[in-house]
């Protein structure tokens, strides 16, 4: 249901009820990917709408006279009625999930994230992680997947960037007034505002609660700016990724502990919790704690039950990227909580350490998330492999291919990023419901669209981008105090016919935003070529404390002052979702050149796909699995000098010639062929609707089934697994391989082994022959069955098995691993013993 309208106008205003439906539409963030409402907000206040894209703020700020005039417009009511009807129909018709899984055991997924990027009107995101989280909620709404979001309401959010004339960056933090955001207070059934208490050392932190409507999905946000708090605590959630480790630890306590408490207070009982990065890891503790208290269980058993319903997604490609907190800080803020859990401080720390016995090892939030979840995934195929290397230390002696980290490649919410011109082409080819299609490969009949139509679309979008760049740059210069001449020159930059390349992202050194500046003169020649010129639009925000990243911005601005490139290259300050929307719709080529394999996935290049933009990228992240010569260009990824040379050669020898190679009618047919193939092949495959379907079928549904099974009958199965785990831990040091023999007879091997199990039952382990995978293959695992205990040798068993003699006997090694039919090994039991 939509939240009730909050009154922002006098009660006696006659037009208020006439506009109540419109107010409800303004409160639903579904408008951010459906532009049906835009004409209304433009009529109310075109300047404010263009600047903020916040319909609730526009409605809130409009004068009474303007609202009265709009309400009395005889053409308004039918239009509003049609919007309301369309909105209700879209939310009322069952979506993919209810059609595809009508009897699914999945009642609800709670998606925890430090940031959510749903639109510029709700600025509680910093970059790709938050925008991805926002796209998850949008696609969950489109597909009718039962999801609620849980996050934090920052009073100032992430910083806004101002770049001084000398290239220096200033960070500004405008206030996020909840009354002007598309939020309503969370209220109890009695109508009271819901407040959540999180215990901190010597005090209680009170949290206000808010909710946002995202189509069918609701997002809950926690806010520390409660009058019952101290001034310092009221500012605890002032900034996203602000402050030091102490502030970050408290913020993550609010997200994990406070977020779960909020769901409990509202009577929300999700089967699945999805942790979007390790920031949310404390939820695994609070979920287990409440389950233990409700069912009279110890913490270990409760965690065994609840971890079955937890999914952890890591986005980090380097170990240093995970949040970690020193023992002293954890003791101060979570020592009493650890006692309440019944595991003590050392027990809590052990859950977040690779070596539980190392007193100097900090609490690693990613490790805590892994120890509290039964499904772990990276965000691209390559990142899954990188993550297996990162987390291998948690699973010593296990083969790298068996480290329990899979992958679900990221995607983007296509309706949020496709332009009106692209939408028209897609609708003609595929129909209006194309992104809800359950088949990720469905792209309709895009091949039937003439080259001329696709080229017209690209020309339109490039022209719109040029107009936007000119206006934005002029405004940027005016705000910086530039001269009238400089402002006039800004309105003449770029050419709507010239090949346009875009580079926009967080300016971090590993993303190599200055790779093109390895040869500045060569770049100048490329941009200023009199016959086949190139124009370059740049944008990006280094973190306020990232001095090297800020120097990269300064380096670019120095280059852009050169008279030969002033009209062909610009830097747009304060990169945000609005700027990104214009860039991904208008550029011909999206440039992405991180050091491989430092880009976990990257989604900016996915946003150009639906609009006919092409990618030129390092073979990293998503592009490593998406690239072929039929859809774009790739750099293998190596040292900076070699990659810069490869980038220039691609631009000079392939990209530029293909763009300017025109047929008699002025159409670059080879270029359009790349556009068509990229749109048709990649857009559906790298959409967030495909991603959410993957999460639902590969992770959420299995997790829901496992959680229900473990929690049923007073957690009988969960308790049995916990007892098994305890037995394995107690007796594993007694396990050893006493002998093994592999005998060949014809095309078969017969394997016999003698295993000492000590105090473990034969059913508590699995004995198998293992062989490393062949190229492009999977590891071989051939189980041996227990034939009986060895007489006179307590705890020693004989095993026997057969397998094909397809590889030399030396390729196989016997091993013993823990086994329970309902457990996830090695996530829940990482012990292993190898032959010899």
Mean pLDDT of 157-184: 89
DSSP string, 532-573: S-EEEEEE----TT-HHHHHHHHHHHHHHTSTTTTTTEEEES
Q: Which helix (H) or strand (E) holds 743?
A: strand 736-745
How confident is the model at residue 439, as a pLDDT?
Answer: 56
- Say if residues 44 and 66 touch (Cβ distance below 8 Å): yes
Mean pLDDT of 557-586: 94
pLDDT band at 347 (very low <50, low <70, confident <90, very high): very high
Look over the chain and give the mean of its residue pLDDT values, rounded to a whole number: 92
Domain boundaries, the chain: 17-92, 108-407, 421-686, 735-834
* pLDDT over 90 at 166, yes or no: no
The SS3 call for residue 769 is strand
- Say if residues 54 and 578 touch (Cβ distance below 8 Å): no
- Rounding to the nearest 10 degrees, give the CA dihedral for residues 716, 722, 727, 729: 170
774's tokens: 């062949």
For residues 411 and 683, what is the distance between their CA atoms, to the nearest angstrom? 9
Residue-wise pLDDT for 791-826, tens only, equals 999 999 999 999 999 999 999 999 999 999 999 999
Residue-wise pLDDT for 77-90, tens only, equals 777 788 888 888 88
721's tokens: 């697994």
* pLDDT over 60 at 157, yes or no: yes
How confident is the model at residue 482, as a pLDDT?
Answer: 87
For residues 496 and 7, what is the distance between their CA atoms, to the nearest angstrom? 46
How confident is the model at residue 17, as a pLDDT?
Answer: 54
Residue-wise pLDDT for 260-309, tens only, equals 999 999 999 999 999 999 999 999 999 999 999 999 999 999 999 999 99
pLDDT band at 441 (very low <50, low <70, confident <90, very high): very low
Strands 499-504 and 534-539: parallel
Residue-wise pLDDT for 32-46, tens only, equals 777 767 788 888 888
381's tokens: 């195929």
DSSP state for residue 439 in the 8-state scheme = -
How confident is the model at residue 1, as a pLDDT?
Answer: 30
CATH topology of domain 421-686: Rossmann fold (3.40.50)
* pLDDT over 90 at 6, yes or no: no
619: exposed, middle or buried (C-beta count within 10 Å: 0-12, 13-18, 19+)? middle
How confident is the model at residue 62, as a pLDDT?
Answer: 83
Architecture of domain 108-407: 3-Layer(aba) Sandwich (3.40)
Residue-wise pLDDT for 410-424, tens only, equals 999 999 999 999 999
Per residue, what are the HEC states of 626-679? HCCCCCEEEECCCCHHHHHHHHHHHHHHHHHHHHHCCCCCCCCHHHHHHHHHHH
Quick check: bond before 524 cis, omega within 30? no
Supply the angle between the helices 451-479 and 577-586 in degrees, to the nearest 10. Answer: 140
Residue-wise pLDDT for 620-645, tens only, equals 999 999 999 999 999 998 899 999 99
- Rounding to the nearest 10 degrees, give the CA dihedral for residues 431, 432, 437, 440: 70
For residues 147 and 691, what is the distance between their CA atoms, to the nearest angstrom? 14
Cα atoms in the Cβ-side hemisphere of radius 13 Å centred on 501:
23
The SS3 call for residue 742 is strand
Helices (H), strands (E): how many in the chain? 30, 27
The SS3 call for residue 738 is strand
Question: Which carries the bigger pLDDT value, residue 577 or residue 74?
Answer: 577
151's tokens: 């996050």
Q: 735-834: what CATH class? A: mainly beta
- Say if residues 522 and 648 touch (Cβ distance below 8 Å): yes
Cβ neighbours, 10 Å, residue 181: 21
How confident is the model at residue 77, as a pLDDT?
Answer: 74
How confident is the model at residue 202, as a pLDDT?
Answer: 93
- Say if residues 306 and 291 touch (Cβ distance below 8 Å): yes
Residue-wise pLDDT for 235-255, tens only, equals 999 999 988 999 999 999 999
Using the structure block, give the residue that is written with the tokens 């995607």: 411
pLDDT band at 4 (very low <50, low <70, confident <90, very high): very low
Nearest Cα to Cα of residue 25 among 184, 215, 178, 180:
215
Residues with Cβ within 8 Å of residue 242, at least 6 apart in sequence:
none
For residues 190 and 420, what is the distance between their CA atoms, to the nearest angstrom? 44
Distance set, CA 49 to CA 56, 389, 417 (Å) = 10, 47, 18
Residue-wise pLDDT for 471-491, tens only, equals 999 999 998 888 999 899 999
For residues 257 and 395, what is the distance between their CA atoms, to the nearest angstrom? 28
The SS3 call for residue 826 is coil
* pLDDT over 80 at 11, yes or no: no
Distance set, CA 600 to CA 178, 318, 323, 456 (Å) = 33, 9, 16, 35
For residues 67 and 768, what is the distance between their CA atoms, to the nearest angstrom? 75
Beta bridge partner(s), residue 801: 751
Residue-wise pLDDT for 302-315, tens only, equals 999 999 999 999 99
DSSP string, 693-719: HHIIIIIIHHHHHHHHHHHHHHHHHHH
pLDDT band at 437 (very low <50, low <70, confident <90, very high): low
- Say if residues 461 and 419 touch (Cβ distance below 8 Å): yes
* pLDDT over 70 at 2, yes or no: no
How confident is the model at residue 84, as a pLDDT?
Answer: 81
Strands 310-313 and 375-378: parallel
108-407 shares its CATH topology with 735-834 = no
Per residue, what are the HEC states of 186-253? CECCCCCECEEEEEECCEEEEEEEEEEEECCEEEEEEECCCCCCCHHHHCCCCECCCCCHHHHHHHHH
């Amino acid at each position: 249901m939509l939240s009730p309208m909050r009154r922002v106008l006098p009660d006696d205003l006659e037009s208020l009820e006439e506009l109540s439906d419109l107010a409800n539409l303004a409160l639903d963030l579904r408008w951010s990917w459906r532009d049906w409402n835009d004409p209304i907000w433009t009529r109310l206040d075109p300047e404010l709408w263009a600047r903020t894209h916040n319909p609730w703020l526009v409605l809130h700020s409009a004068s009474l006279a303007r609202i009265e005039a709009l309400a009395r417009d005889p053409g308004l009511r039918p239009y509003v009625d049609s919007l309301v009807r369309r909105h209700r129909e879209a939310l009322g018709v069952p979506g993919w999930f209810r059609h595809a899984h009508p009897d699914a055991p999945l009642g609800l997924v709670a998606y925890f994230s430090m940031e959510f990027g749903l639109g510029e009107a709700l600025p509680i995101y910093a970059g790709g992680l938050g925008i991805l989280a926002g796209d998850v909620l949008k696609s969950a709404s489109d597909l009718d997947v039962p999801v609620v979001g849980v996050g934090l309401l920052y009073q100032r959010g992430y910083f806004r960037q101002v770049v001084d004339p000398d290239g220096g960056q200033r960070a500004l933090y405008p206030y996020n007034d909840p009354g002007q955001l598309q939020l309503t207070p969370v209220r109890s059934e009695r109508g009271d505002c819901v407040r959540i208490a999180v215990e901190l050392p010597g005090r209680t932190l009170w949290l206000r609660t808010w909710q946002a409507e995202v189509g069918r999905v609701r997002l809950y946000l926690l806010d520390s700016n409660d009058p019952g708090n101290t001034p310092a605590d009221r500012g605890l959630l002032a900034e996203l990724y602000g402050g030091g480790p102490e502030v970050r630890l408290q913020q993550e306590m609010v997200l994990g502990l406070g977020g779960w408490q909020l769901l409990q207070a509202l009577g929300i009982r999700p089967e699945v919790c999805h942790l979007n990065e390790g920031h949310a890891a404390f939820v695994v503790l609070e979920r287990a704690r409440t389950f233990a208290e409700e069912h009279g269980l110890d913490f270990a058993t409760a965690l065994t039950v609840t971890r079955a319903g937890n999914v952890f997604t890591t986005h980090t490609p380097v170990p240093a990227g995970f949040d970690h907190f020193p023992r002293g800080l954890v003791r101060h803020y979570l020592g009493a909580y650890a006692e309440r859990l019944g595991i003590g401080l050392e027990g809590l720390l052990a859950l977040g350490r690779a070596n539980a016995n190392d007193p100097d090892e900090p609490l690693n939030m990613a490790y805590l998330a892994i120890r509290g979840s039964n499904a772990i995934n990276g965000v691209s195929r390559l990142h899954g492999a990188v993550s297996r290397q990162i987390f291998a230390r948690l699973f010593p002696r296990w083969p790298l291919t068996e480290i329990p980290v899979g992958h679900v490649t990221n995607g983007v919410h296509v309706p949020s990023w496709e332009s009106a011109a692209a939408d028209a082409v897609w609708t003609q080819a595929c129909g209006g419901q194309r992104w809800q299609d359950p088949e990720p490969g469905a792209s309709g009949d895009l091949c039937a669209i003439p080259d001329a139509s696709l080229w017209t679309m690209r020309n339109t979008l490039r022209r719109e981008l040029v107009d936007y760049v000119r206006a934005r740059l002029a405004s940027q210069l005016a705000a910086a105090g530039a001269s009238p001449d400089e402002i006039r020159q800004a309105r003449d930059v770029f050419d709507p016919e010239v090949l346009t390349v875009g580079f926009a992202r967080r300016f971090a050194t590993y993303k190599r935003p200055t790779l093109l500046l390895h040869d500045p003169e060569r770049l100048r020649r490329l941009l200023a070529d009199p016959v086949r010129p190139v124009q370059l639009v740049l944008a990006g925000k280094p973190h306020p404390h990232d001095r090297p990243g800020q120097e990269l911005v300064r380096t670019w601005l120095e280059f852009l002052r050169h008279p030969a490139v002033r009209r062909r290259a610009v830097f747009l300050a304060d990169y945000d979702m609005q700027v990104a929307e214009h860039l991904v719709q208008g550029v011909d080529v999206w440039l992405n050149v991180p050091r491989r394999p430092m880009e976990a996935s990257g989604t900016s290049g996915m946003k150009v796909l639906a609009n006919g933009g092409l990618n030129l990228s390092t073979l990293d992240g998503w592009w490593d699995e998406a690239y072929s010569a039929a859809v774009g260009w790739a750099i293998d990824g190596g040292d900076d000098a070699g990659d810069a040379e490869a980038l220039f050669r691609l631009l000079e020898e392939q990209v530029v010639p293909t763009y300017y190679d025109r047929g008699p009618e002025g159409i670059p047919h080879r270029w359009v062929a790349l556009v068509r193939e990229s749109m048709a092949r990649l857009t559906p495959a790298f959409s967030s609707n495909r991603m959410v379907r993957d999460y639902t079928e590969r992770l959420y549904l299995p997790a829901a089934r496992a959680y229900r099974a473990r929690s049923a009958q007073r957690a009988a199965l969960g308790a049995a697994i916990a007892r098994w785990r305890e037995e394995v831990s107690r007796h594993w040091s007694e396990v050893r391989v006493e002998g093994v023999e592999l005998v060949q007879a014809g095309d078969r091997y017969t394997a016999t082994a003698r295993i000492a199990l000590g105090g473990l039952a034969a059913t508590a382990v699995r004995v198998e022959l293992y062989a490393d995978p062949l190229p492009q293959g999977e590891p071989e695992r051939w189980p041996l069955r227990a034939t009986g205990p060895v007489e006179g040798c307590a705890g020693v068993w004989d095993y026997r098995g057969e397998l094909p003699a397809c590889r030399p006997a030396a390729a196989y090694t016997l091993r013993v691993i823990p086994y329970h039919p309902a457990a996830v090994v090695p996530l829940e039991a990482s012990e292993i013993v190898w032959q010899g």
